[in-house]
Amino acid sequence: MRVVQDQPARHGARHRALVAGLLAAALTLTAACTSGGGDGSSGWRDGDPNTAPDPKAAVTIVEPAADATDVPASTGLTFTTEEALETTVELKDSSGEAVEGTLATDGATWLPADTLKYGETYTAAVTATGDDGLPATATSTFTIMAEPANQVRISSFLGDDQVVGVGMPLVVKFGRAIPEDYRDDLQRRMTVTSTPAQEGIWHWVSPTEVRYRPKEFWRANSTVSYRVQAGGLPLGDGWYGRNDLTVDIRIGPSLIMKVDNKTKRMTVTKDGSVVKTIPVSLGKKSTPSSSGTMVVMEKLRKTVFDTFEELGPEDGYRTKIDYAQRLTWGGEFIHAAPWSEGQQGSVNVSHGCVNVSMTNGAWLFSNTRIGDPITVKGTERKLQNGNGWTDWNMSWAEYVKGSALPYEPPAADDDADPGVSPTP
């Protein structure tokens, strides 16, 4: 009987304890759901040891979108981040092999080192880490388009390890005209790296050719590397870039030629010092030489000038020439002219070329390189831009107008950085 009476009492105590426990839990839950840390974090999350806090940083992959197909093989990764102190990018193909690439200085784009494989599926992972040390990761899996039938060939006038003069423009040609609306995208994929660093810009001379020159002549004995990442890049009307292009060259000594029609003399300086003064004969009044700044485009130890087709049987001529160095597409050269040695230094008798003696022609030929500049002044005709590599015949202000991208002068401390040129 006593046992039976004791049971309701014990049951009541447990009931009261249970009600009190539930009430306390409810109050705790209410407080947790309605309160938060001073920094905006959740009090519930902060108080739950089994739930990790959210990272401060956030990241979103903009392109290529997840599950995208028919993606150009030139694609890079574009993404946005918030509160990120560090961002890392990883791209893998369908077999799990990592793809090498470079994060751009803007911290929002990443380009693979090589054109991606046609028809392949890739997975990108971009991870952003904030000052809390917690990483946030976004992923995107996408598939590259099938190889296109229409592809544009990209080529360079220069080859690896070539040594050129301080006036040499970097010349890139395309096998098909590039529409204006696509040139900015292409130019963003064209970079120049020089050591020491030198300010420069790309200039479109035609729909099929773009050139690059520094603001001043290249520094003597510097190294230059230029790259065009155009493989798989859309270039308009269903055409795509066929290939990437990378060229590494060296700049030789600073050899500069200056010709004054008034004195009929050429002054040759090497690394700032005058090394030779040469008597010349320029074009006569009926066929004057061009005044302006040109560069040596071609060197021919022996050749034949044949103008019968151009000038006809009465005015045309066919002459063997030694030590010829082309300056214009129109046919102006520096060359040896033994027949005019008596007039060199006093009278102009040429058809527009810079005539020198056999001895001086041989000396020049052995000392010059493709890309060495020559300036002629005081003649009756001005050099026409486009008649040769006339990049230095334009002012810097004129030259930058030929860029498909706005010109951005380098920051004051860029001169100390031997990295990529400030303007792509």
For every residue of 316-371, DSSP letters joined together read --EEEEEEEEE--TTS-EEEE-GGGTTTTTT---BSSSEEE-HHHHHHHHHH--TT
User: Buried (b) or exposed (e) across 334-370, using 16+ Cβ within 10 A?
Assistant: bbbbeebbebbbeebbbbbbbbbbeebbebbbeebbb
- Contact residues for 269 (Cβ-Cβ < 8 A; gap 6+): 254, 255, 256, 258, 275
Asked if the bond preceding 64 is cis, omega within 30° of 0, the reply is yes
Long-range interactions of 393-400: CB distance < 8 A, separation 24+: 393/292, 393/293, 393/294, 396/215, 399/201, 399/203, 399/213, 400/201, 400/203
Name the nearest CA neighbour of 136 among 100, 90, 82, 180: 82
For the question of residue 353 being annotated catalytic, the response is: yes
Cβ-Cβ contacts under 8 Å for 207 (sequence gap 6 or more): 174, 177, 178, 179, 180
Distance (Å, whole) CA 5 – CA 34: 45
Which of 11, 15, 351, 353 is labelled catalytic? 353
Q: Residues 33, 203, 335, 351: which is the catalytic one?
A: 335
Q: Has 15 been annotated as catalytic? A: no
Longest dimension (CA), the chain: 148
Cα distance between residue 423 and residue 271, in whole Å: 27
Tell me how far apart the alpha carbons of residues 178 and 33 are, in angstroms, rounded to a whole number.
Answer: 60
- Our CA dihedral for 346, 347, 349, 354, rounded to 10 degrees, sits at 40
Q: What Å distances lie between residue 168 and 98, 194, 291, 298, CA to CA?
A: 38, 14, 19, 12
Instruction: Convert 237-288 into a string of H (helix), E (strand) and C (coil).
Output: CCCEECCCEEEEEEECCCEEEEEECCCCEEEEEECCEEEEEEECECECCCCC
Compute CA distances 366 → 27, 88, 89, 304, 343, whole Å: 95, 52, 51, 20, 24
Instruction: Report, as residue numbers or ranges, the catalytic residues.
Output: 335, 353
